[in-house]
Amino acid sequence: MFSPLTHPRPAATIEISTAADVLIAQRRARVLAEQLGFARRAQWEFATAVSEAATNILCHASGGAIEFDADDERVEFTAIDTGAGIADLDRALVDGVSLGSALERGSLGCGMGAIARLMDGVTVETSACRGTIVRAYKRRHATARTFRSSCPR
């Protein structure tokens, strides 16, 4: 896990329980990135990654929340859910794998992969009993991307 941000701006938390919450999270993400002076494309990439995470919460878990945090260099979100955890994290990252519940059947199943591609760094902590925490950040000036995961079982 990367270290906590040193000069955090006022953080925001959005509970995710309906589709409307996903919309709110998307918009909040985009506005936050815009306020921080991110390029237009980066704003949308951040908002889309947040949307993926929020949609995952909606489809795979009973409930959860998206938290935002930012400093001068980067913007990050943390998606926390109380779902069943991701059984095989490495597989979940392969596009087209996650079938999810009947609700989401037929999705492209590349939500996690998409987050990894849209953001500069992603960490995933998942466990069967505690749910999943996805934390991802995006730098104002993109550099090489990192991906790390842990799966304590």
Q: Which of 58, 66, 75, 136 lies at the binding interface for other proteins (CB under 8 A)?
A: 58
Strands 121-127 and 146-150: parallel
**What are the two backbone dihedrals, phi and then psi, of residue 66, each rounded to the nearest 5 degrees?**
-115, 130
DSSP state of 125: E
Tell me the per-residue interface mask from 82 to 111 with other proteins, x by CB under 8 A, - otherwise.
Answer: -------------x-------xx-xxxxxx
Q: Which of 1, 4, 41, 153 lies at the binding interface for other proteins (CB under 8 A)?
A: 41
Which of positions 18-37 make contact with other proteins (CB under 8 A)? 19-20, 22-23, 26-27, 30
Strands 64-70 and 74-81: antiparallel
**Cβ contacts of 54 within 8 Å, gap of 6 or more:** 14, 16, 21, 22, 25, 26, 66, 79
Q: Which residues bind other proteins (CB under 8 A)?
A: 19-20, 22-23, 26-27, 30, 40-41, 43-45, 47-48, 51-52, 55, 58-59, 95, 103-104, 106-111, 113-114, 117-118
